[in-house]
């Protein structure tokens, strides 16, 4: 897959470890006069982050609750599994980058917090405290930053986000008891 994706995508990351594999592909797409960076991540086994304890297991429920979709890549159509909203949100929090924080804010704003989130964190994370730490020390401080709203609007090319929406998201995320 890496070889035929390389024709149309930049392979930004490719890692193969004992029980896991990860690949990130990036492509710039022109929309009007602007270019948008689109990333596509592929993973198998478990998702291992940058730190040793940043691990999310891909268990049977992860697979069963995912949904299949076909996507066109490099003049081919492949079927991929997309994680459930709950598992996807967990992956985003564990990743914890600024771009993930913007996605988390948009997801929570549009969908709310998933049911059973706290329980699911404990099921698929060998170190569930990592989720809490990432949320408290990384995600929430970024969202609370006064510059976040402008950055968030720019990322999604909209003026729809407001200070009130931002505060609602902060309240929802702060209520999580992990």
pLDDT value at residue 149: 87
Q: Please check the confidence at residue 117 and state whether its pLDDT lies above 70.
A: yes
pLDDT value at residue 74: 59
How is residue 71 annotated by DSSP? E
Name residue 16's beta-bridge partners.
21
Name residue 76's beta-bridge partners.
73
Contacts of 35 (CB under 8 A, 6+ apart): 28, 29
Q: Residue 79: helix, strand or coil by DSSP?
A: strand
Give how many domains the chain has, as a whole number: 1
Structure tokens at 89: 């949100």
32-87 pLDDT tens trace = 788 878 888 877 788 877 898 999 999 999 999 999 998 876 566 778 889 999 99
Contact 20, 47 (CB under 8 A): yes
Domain hosting residue 110, numbered range: 2-174
Q: Residue 43: helix, strand or coil by DSSP?
A: strand
Q: Which span out of 34-38, 150-154, 161-165 was modeled with the highest average pLDDT?
A: 161-165
Name residue 23's beta-bridge partners.
14, 42
Single pTM value for the model: 0.77
91-108 pLDDT tens trace = 999 999 988 999 999 999
pLDDT value at residue 75: 67
pLDDT value at residue 25: 87
Percent of the chain whose pLDDT exceeds 90 = 51
Contact 133, 99 (CB under 8 A): no
């Amino acid at each position: 897959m890496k070889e035929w994706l390389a024709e149309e995508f930049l392979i930004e990351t490719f890692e193969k470890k004992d029980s896991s594999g990860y690949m990130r592909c990036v492509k710039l797409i022109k929309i009007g006069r602007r270019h948008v960076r689109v990333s596509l991540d592929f993973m198998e086994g478990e998702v291992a982050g940058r730190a040793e304890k940043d691990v999310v297991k891909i268990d049977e429920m992860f697979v069963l609750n995912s949904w299949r979709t076909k996507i066109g890549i490099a003049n081919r159509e492949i079927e991929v599994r997309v994680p459930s909203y709950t598992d996807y949100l967990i992956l985003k929090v564990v990743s914890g980058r600024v771009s993930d924080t913007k996605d988390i804010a948009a997801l929570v704003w549009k969908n709310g917090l998933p049911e059973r989130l706290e329980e699911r964190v404990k099921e698929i994370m060998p170190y569930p405290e990592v989720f809490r730490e990432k949320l408290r020390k990384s995600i929430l401080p970024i969202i609370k930053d006064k510059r976040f709203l402008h950055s968030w609007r720019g990322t999604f090319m909209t003026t729809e986000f407001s200070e009130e929406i931002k505060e609602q998201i902060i309240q929802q995320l702060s209520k999580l008891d992990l």
